[in-house]
């Protein structure tokens, strides 16, 4: 697929990405909520306080690729992990860890007057906030797994550079769920976020520095470490947001087979080559999106960049219709955006994409193009506000690793 795009289409796709962005208040709401839970886990009466709990955001909120729900009835899914950092797999079972953390989450719910009960998922506990909040938080219990992960990968001559942040998680469908064993499911959301940031490359670094310079010019004392990935908008992040909405719309009636976000994000990040504009990045990424998909003769393989033993496409083997759905979606996305990219009239672009992205979204994008200088738009400085100095020391939302210390109370 050749990459050709008009300057008018570039402007429109940039407006489309902006229309998909969630309000800054949503990020702040997520940050406040999980830090509040972190404070609770560190309180004097906490049953897990002595295990040095470390709660952190993961998923699209950490990567900065959250998109607005397609309707006001949908909720934002805030994914967190809570590591009891002083424990190891020899100390307890997956069930023990999940039960221990679950009791504290239930007490937290009661203390905050949250009406909806805590729901147990396969790998997490879900906190359902009030209806007006429009989000829920999934908390994955975990413990550190750096040493075992490094050994696992290095003995197979595989890349172990992200092992330091590896975790072991719980899964109530695992055969060894109730046993004290070394066989725990693995994950590494912090490592994945670091890999993702590395794929954004110099574009990310320059844009983050620009935000920092503007903050300092307005008298805000801050450092680069104060600006997490989600505060910086790169063409890769915007491309993923656009592709996720295209996917959501195309599979609105088929949620089972729709391509999962981790596959879209990983393939897009692999394909990204530091393109500076959203439109060119989108079309270029789509043209190379299959490059990181392997096939060993029997199954498709999309390797987790932080754990080459994990295959993000493992479900495709038992459900080949999901592989078919992915390639069908990729073909359609290429057609839709290459068609829009050749146009010069914004209304025609909107007409091409309306059925794929939603009429309301394409209309908002058209309005943004026609009114590029929107009064009341937040400055980069305001949008990149830094965390309070009173934040809990082992509760992290940014990208800088923090070493948990003994809790000493939180203001």
In this predicted structure, what is the pLDDT of residue 385? 37
pTM: predicted TM-score of the whole model, two decimal places: 0.87
Name, in order, each residue with C-beta under 8 angstroms of 345's C-beta and a sequence gap of 6 or more.
Answer: 8
299-315 pLDDT tens trace: 999 999 999 999 999 99
Residue entry with tokens 């997956």: 94
Q: Which residues of the chain have pLDDT under 50?
A: 374-411
pLDDT tens profile 13-53? 999 999 999 887 788 888 888 899 999 999 999 999 999 99
Q: What pLDDT does 389 receive?
A: 32
Give dist(CA 363, CA 70) in Å, integer.
14
Residue 101 token pair: 């953390």
Helix axes 189-217, 261-271, angle to 10 degrees: 60
Q: How far is CA 280 from CA 2, 201, 209, 210, 271, in A?
A: 11, 16, 23, 22, 12
Distance CA 216, CA 131 (A): 38
Give the pLDDT of residue 76: 81
Q: What is the pLDDT of residue 383?
A: 41
Q: Are 318 and 253 in contact (CB under 8 A)?
A: no
- Judge whether 158 and 133 are in contact, CB under 8 Å: no
**Is residue 6 within 8 Å of 341, Cβ to Cβ?**
yes
The alpha helices in 119-187, defined as continuous H runs, are 146-154
Q: What are phi and psi of 216, to 5 degrees?
A: -65, -35
Rounded to whole angstroms, the Cα distance separating 79 from 81 reads 7
Give the separation between CA 78 and CA 66, rounded to whole angstroms. Answer: 10
């Amino acid at each position: 697929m050749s990459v050709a795009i008009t300057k008018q289409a570039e402007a429109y796709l940039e407006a489309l990405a902006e229309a998909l962005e969630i309000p800054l208040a949503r990020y702040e709401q997520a940050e406040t909520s999980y830090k509040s839970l972190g404070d609770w886990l560190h309180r004097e009466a906490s049953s897990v306080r002595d295990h040095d709990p470390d709660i952190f955001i993961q998923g699209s909120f950490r990567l900065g690729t959250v998109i607005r729900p397609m309707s006001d009835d949908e909720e934002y899914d805030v994914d967190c992990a809570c590591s009891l950092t002083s424990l190891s797999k020899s100390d307890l079972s997956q069930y023990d860890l999940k039960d221990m953390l679950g009791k504290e989450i239930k007490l937290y719910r009661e203390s905050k007057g949250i009406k909806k009960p805590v729901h147990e998922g396969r790998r997490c506990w879900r906190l359902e906030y009030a209806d007006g909040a429009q989000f829920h938080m999934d908390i994955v219990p975990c413990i550190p797994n750096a040493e075992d992960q490094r050994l696992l990968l290095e003995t197979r001559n595989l890349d172990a550079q992200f092992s330091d942040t590896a975790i072991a998680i719980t899964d109530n469908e695992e055969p060894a769920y109730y046993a004290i064993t070394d066989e725990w499911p693995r994950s590494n959301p912090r490592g994945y976020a670091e890999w993702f940031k590395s794929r954004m490359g110099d574009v990310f670094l320059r844009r983050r520095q620009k935000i920092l310079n503007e903050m300092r010019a307005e008298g805000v004392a801050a450092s680069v470490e104060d600006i997490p990935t989600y505060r910086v908008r790169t063409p890769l992040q915007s491309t993923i947001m656009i592709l996720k909405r295209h996917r959501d719309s195309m599979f609105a009636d088929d949620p089972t087979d729709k391509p999962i976000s981790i596959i879209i994000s990983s393939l897009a990040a692999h394909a990204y080559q530091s393109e500076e504009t959203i439109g060119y990045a989108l079309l270029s990424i789509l043209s190379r999106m299959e490059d990181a998909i392997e096939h060993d003769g029997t199954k498709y393989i999309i390797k987790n960049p932080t754990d080459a033993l994990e295959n993000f496409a493992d479900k495709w083997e038992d459900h080949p219709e999901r592989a078919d759905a992915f390639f069908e979606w990729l073909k359609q996305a290429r057609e839709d955006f290459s068609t829009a990219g050749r146009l010069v009239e914004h209304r025609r672009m909107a007409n091409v994409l309306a059925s794929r992205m939603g009429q309301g979204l394409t209309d908002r994008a058209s309005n943004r193009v026609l009114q590029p200088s929107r009064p009341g738009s937040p400055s980069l400085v305001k949008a990149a506000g830094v965390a309070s100095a009173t934040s809990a020391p082992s509760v992290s939302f940014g990208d800088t690793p923090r070493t948990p210390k003994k809790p000493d109370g939180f203001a």
